[in-house]
Structure 1
Amino acid sequence: EKYNDLALYFFVPPSKRKHYTFFSLTNCRWDLNSVPDYCSEQVKIIFSVLRDTILETGEKAFIYQGRTVTHHIVKIWLDLLKSMLREAEWSSDKLTPSLEDYMENAYISFALGPIVLPATYLIGPPLAEKTVESSEYNQLYKLMSTMGRLLNDVQGFKRESAEGKLNAVSLHMIHQQDNRSKDEVVESIKDIAERNRRELQKLVLEEKRSVVPRECKEAFLKMSKVLNLFYRKDDGFTSNDLMTVVKSVIYEPVTLQDESLT
């Protein structure tokens, strides 16, 4: 399939640099059967990996859904890449967005879209086009991602500030009118994240007016639980404690207590 008049933007973190190098494929002609021959080698590599991932996911989804959903998976990735480009442009141009503009973009750049949304096609129940375009489906995604983004920003505030990056905490402090302390701002953001979690849980449990199958809604709720664990004490990406837990699950043998059969 070809997707015309779409702009695909890439930014890749170069080794030993803190800022991003941009690769943009303006007016990219999306052809999932080939790789554009007018791009840099790095962009070709990224495009090839994305193409293979999209095609593989689309093929698996077709088995469950009985219809092609590749166009939706392409859109999910494009939305993510465009949101990342926007953040990188803010950084390179030294712009300070409003908190509202930041959050409207940041829940997408948190990058749960390509993880959770395609997975809902693989759970089992059929998802009609109108279902994935429904306000309920998109609200499930937004609540889950907003909660994760806020928790990430709280735990990563110190590290990102040292790198010169803006996040929800720093923007709250820049734009606030009541001169609250950093700790007060952090607690306020945690409260907002918790409200998003509760609203998500309420939406998952809603049955009467729901158009999204319960099994699919559970995927959003389960990811929110993972996020709570991930950011419970610190930034899960740099947490030695969490890394130790993961390694123990993978590498340490499970010891079963012998039980008498008598």
Structure 2
Amino acid sequence: MSHPPCFSNGCLRWDHHDEVEFCSEQVEIVFSAFYSTVKHIGEMASAVQKRDVTKHLNETWLHYLRSAATEAEWQRNQYVPTVEEYMIEAVNSFAEGPIMLTSLYFVQQKLEEYIIKDPEYHELLRIKGNCGRLLNDTRGFERESSEGKLNIISLLVLQSGGSMSIEAAQEAVQESIASCRRDLLRMVVGEDRVVPRVCKEVFWRFCRTVHLFYCQTDGFSSPKEMLRTMNAIFREPLKLQHTSPLDAQSEQ
């Protein structure tokens, strides 16, 4: 399967994208803004880490872009992937890799390279990514189906040969989500190994945040739902019950 020119040689072409012919001015504008933002974040993260971490950040973003390009090619060619093929690319296109790594570089002031290359880190990323993607697919199923897009629920139904209903597929996905949350929590509270506990706790906080986005609706396509939540947290003052000094004394 081929990829756009800027992916063909990995980070080499990432830093020399000016040599690539963009398919349109709009694509060039979007990519330039994206590239500048990632580069700026990499410079800030490198200052915090006191070493150059831009290469690995670039690699994680390229990994995301490759999967996004693969999904676009599937849709363009009307290719129906297997569940296994879909989950590999769909988890990557959920952008867990760059989002988590960027956050951790600013949380853990000494995040050595061996840590982010350790199997424990990749397992945390895999479980967290699976949970987020399954939650996203659950809430986005009806909208994506109307747009002709495949997700995990429609693929489960298709590959069952008619033996699984949409409702049964949704229940199976919910069970998988619950299993992912248990597995992730088990790793977070378990014995410390390579990944620092403060980093593992960030994985769990992100998991809870994604669950908030998708617990009732698709938070990204329903901004009003999220706006109410944000207002409740940041804008609406806490209603504290005030007691007078006399009341406090009488309680004692």
Q: TM-score surpassing 0.5?
A: yes
Counterpart of 1:156? 140
The CA deviation at 1:55 is 2.2
* SS state at 2:111 partner: coil
**1:37–1:80 Cα change, 3 Å:** closer
Question: Superposed, which structure 2 residues align to 1:26-105 within 5 Å?
Answer: 27=8, 29-31=13-15, 35-36=18-19, 38-39=21-22, 40-105=24-89
Give matches, 1:106-255, under 5 Å: 106-176=90-160, 179-208=163-192, 210-239=193-222, 240-254=224-238
SS of aligned partner of 1:114: helix
Per the TM alignment, residue 77 of structure 1 is displaced from its structure 2 partner at its CA by 0.8
Structure (1 or 2) with the greater helix fraction: 2
Task: Rate the CA distance shift 1:59–1:260 in 2: closer, same or farther, 3 A.
Answer: farther
Q: Which stretch shows the higher mean deviation, 61-70 or 161-170?
A: 61-70
Q: Distance in 1 between matches of 2:96 and 2:127?
A: 11
TM-score after normalising by structure 1: 0.82
Question: In the alignment, residue 25 of structure 1 is paired with which amino acid?
Answer: C
Long gaps (5+) in structure 2? 247-252
CA contact (8 A) 1:140 1:203 kept: yes
Deviation (angstroms), 1:65: 1.6
CA distance in 1, matches of 2:162, 2:211: 29
The aligned amino acid for 1:222 is R
- The structure with the larger Rg is 2
The alpha-carbon distance between structure 1 residues 187 and 54, as it changes in their structure 2 partners (threshold 3 A), is same
1:173·1:180 contact (CA, 8 Å) conserved in 2? yes
1:232 Cα shift? 0.8
| CA apart distance, 1:249 | 4.0
Whether the 8 Å CA contact 1:62–1:68 is kept in 2: the answer is: yes
State the secondary structure of the residue aligned to 1:63: helix
* Corresponding position of 1:21: none
How many residues are paired up?
A: 240
Q: Structure 2 length as normaliser, TM-score?
A: 0.86
Give me the whole-angstrom Cα distance separating, in 2, the residues matched to 1:76 and 1:83: 11
CA deviation after TM superposition for structure 1 residue 45, in Å: 1.9
> Within 1, Cα distance between the matches of 2:219 and 2:202?
20
Which AA in structure 2 matches 1:161? S
Shift of 1:177: 5.4
Cα deviation for residue 41 of structure 1 reads 2.5
> What's the % identity of the aligned pairs?
38
Query: How large is the RMSD of aligned CA atoms in angstroms?
Result: 2.4
Displacement of 1:124 in angstroms is 2.5
